[in-house]
Structure 1
Amino acid sequence: MTTIDVAVRAEAELGEGPTWDAEAARLIWVDILGCRVHTYDPATGRRTVRTTEQHVGAAKPRAGGGLVLNLRDGIALLDPDGSLRMAHREAVPGRRANDAAVAPDGSLWAGTMRYDETPGGGTLSRLTADGTHTTVLDDVAVSNGTGWSPDGRLMYYIDSPTRRVDVFDHDGGRISGRRTLAVVEDGAGFPDGLTVDADGCVWVALWDGAGVRRYTPDGRLDRVVELPVPRVTACAFGGADLTDLYVTTARTGLTAPHPLAGSVLVVPGVGKGLAQPSFAG
């Protein structure tokens, strides 16, 4: 029987982007619409919250300390002393940041979307350590989960309204050969965030699907973890041995939210994750 625990009881409007910061042994996650960056230390229970002036789609650790933030108007660097500076500014009316991920080479892959989710209104871009910004995909509706295979040769990607989990060939920051790994059927929710485990399997959070699915590298569905809240947004492995799956959830748009909607849930010992790189900039 799968055990589901509450890691952080919260009422996040749109909890997203759980990331295990191995250096600090803590979980980082955001409330996009609440403009908050959260951290949680499972060993001590210590939590911190930093409020941002803009909607924040993701927060990832930096190799030199601090965080990189995917904000509404661009990508910012939060230094260890608490100061904030923009690394790339790209303010587009009606558009905001969404999920992001750090590639094996230390570059940040950051997604955007229109607030009204207009098809083609979002992007996926790449920011390198030296500040070079490149738009990789420019015809996206809701840019969401991004992750890489254990050898870095494949990149998995979700544009949620398509209901697909896509896979690309990845080489030196370039992607090609887009194809479908899996499709989430009607009635099962929409694919949202994702993480890749040590076996190369892809774990996908299901918005309005009340669960997380695990797909094998050949696209076969081989596990479903059912959760008590409908709007499951993203997942990541954490803990000292990377065997605990942390899952963020949302309350936004629900007329009668479940008491745990907006909390961070954890599924102990459900698999084995990969150590995640920090942003090199």
Structure 2
Amino acid sequence: MRPTAEVAVREPAELGEGPTWDPAAGRLIWVDILSSRIHTYDPSSGRRTVMATEQHVGAAKPRAGGGLVVNLRDGVGLYDRDGAFCWLARDPVPGRRGNDAAVAPDGALWAGTMRYDEREAGGSLSRIGPDGGVAVVPDAVTVSNGTGWSPDGRLMYYIDSPTRRIDVFDVEGEHIRNRRTFAVVEPGAGWPDGLTVDAEGCVWTALWDGAAVRRYTPDGRLDLIVDLPVRRPTSCAFGGPDLADLYVSSARTGLLAPHPLSGSLLVLADAGRGVPEVPFAG
């Protein structure tokens, strides 16, 4: 049966992004980038929290020892359990901010950036180790978005949204090699944004300005499109106790007449099975 979208959290987020399931706390974490807020939601109780950050926040992920690692405007920082903050890798660049990020199977953070004006080749993709060591991927990046890994950890999928492509790399230890095209989103269907990989190795991506999420098989074949009641879905992640529900963040920024649900967190119940997310090791 084709899954259908329901509202998990009704919220007028300007730029909702980066849903992430935190299994230790039994909650979903996501951010509102332009409002500088980190949201959490416990689907079993309905409990929600909202935490303000001092800068635009592109992503927030759980840490192995508790707290969060965050991809901010000026770099990557850490929040402890008690809310204390420190910088892990600070690299301020005028006109640039952190965007989507993901934790690799080895516990490192892969963090992307972009220019506010989306200038071509103005962004970056970097691997940040638990000790704060930074390795920048040399490929040109404009709007760094979705990043995810195959269930066996041997492949890394990646989206630079203006290319309209989902690319794939071979993973060799801490390095990625052999970038190639996995799938292409055709003009008029929206722009690929955030992604997640399920337990079958299928790649799901949210389509900005496409009002849908798509699933691609491991060989890059499009096999499912789920329409959404929001024009600008931004990212998706499996969550819930069984990792069976697909949560989708969305945005209302830039829309002259946003849908009443624009900015809300949506859920596609029993859409598949996710892969447990690894917490940041730092």
Structure 2 unaligned spans of 5+: none
Structure 1 counterpart of 2:175: 174
| 1:23 aligned onto 2:24 | yes
Q: Percent identity?
A: 71
The code of the aligned residue for 1:90 comes to: D
Structure 1 counterpart of 2:106: 105
Aligned mates of 1:123, 1:223 — CA distance in 2? 30
**CA offset at residue 3 of structure 1?**
2.7
Aligned mates of 2:138, 2:109 — CA distance in 1? 14
**CA offset at residue 136 of structure 1?**
1.6
Secondary structure of 1:111's match? strand
Aligned mates of 1:126, 1:3 — CA distance in 2? 35
Aligned mates of 1:133, 1:143 — CA distance in 2? 16
TM-score under structure 1 normalisation?
0.99
**CA offset at residue 133 of structure 1?**
1.1
RMSD after superposition: 0.7
Deviations 1:11-60 (Å, cap 9, x if unpaired)?
A: 00000000000010000000000000000000111100011110000000
Aligned mates of 1:174, 1:31 — CA distance in 2? 30
Query: Which aligned segments of 4 or more residues in structure 1 are displaced greater than 6 angstroms?
Result: none
Whether the 8 Å contact between 2:157 and 2:166 is mirrored in structure 1 is yes
Aligned mates of 2:174, 2:260 — CA distance in 1? 42
**CA offset at residue 5 of structure 1?**
1.2
Whether the 8 Å contact between 2:16 and 2:30 is mirrored in structure 1 is yes
Structure 1 counterpart of 2:38: 37
The code of the aligned residue for 1:58 comes to: A
Task: Number of aligned residue pairs: give it.
Answer: 281
The code of the aligned residue for 1:197 comes to: D
Report 1:186-265 matches (<5 A).
186-265=187-266
TM-score under structure 2 normalisation?
0.99
Aligned mates of 2:233, 2:111 — CA distance in 1? 20
The code of the aligned residue for 1:135 comes to: V
Structure 1 counterpart of 2:7: 6
Deviations 1:223-253 (Å, cap 9, x if unpaired)?
A: 1111011101000000000000000000000
Structure 2 counterpart of 1:59: 60
Whether the 8 Å contact between 1:20 and 1:236 is mirrored in structure 2 is yes
**CA offset at residue 138 of structure 1?**
4.8
| 1:165 aligned onto 2:175 | no
Aligned mates of 1:222, 1:174 — CA distance in 2? 30
Report 1:70-89 matches (<5 A).
70-89=71-90
**CA offset at residue 173 of structure 1?**
1.6
Whether the 8 Å contact between 2:249 and 2:264 is mirrored in structure 1 is yes
Aligned mates of 1:224, 1:139 — CA distance in 2? 30
Aligned mates of 2:174, 2:206 — CA distance in 1? 25
Structure 2 counterpart of 1:139: 140
Deviations 1:44-99 (Å, cap 9, x if unpaired)?
A: 11100011110000000000000000000010000001100000110000000000
Aligned mates of 1:130, 1:272 — CA distance in 2? 32
Deviations 1:92-114 (Å, cap 9, x if unpaired)?
A: 00000000000000000000000
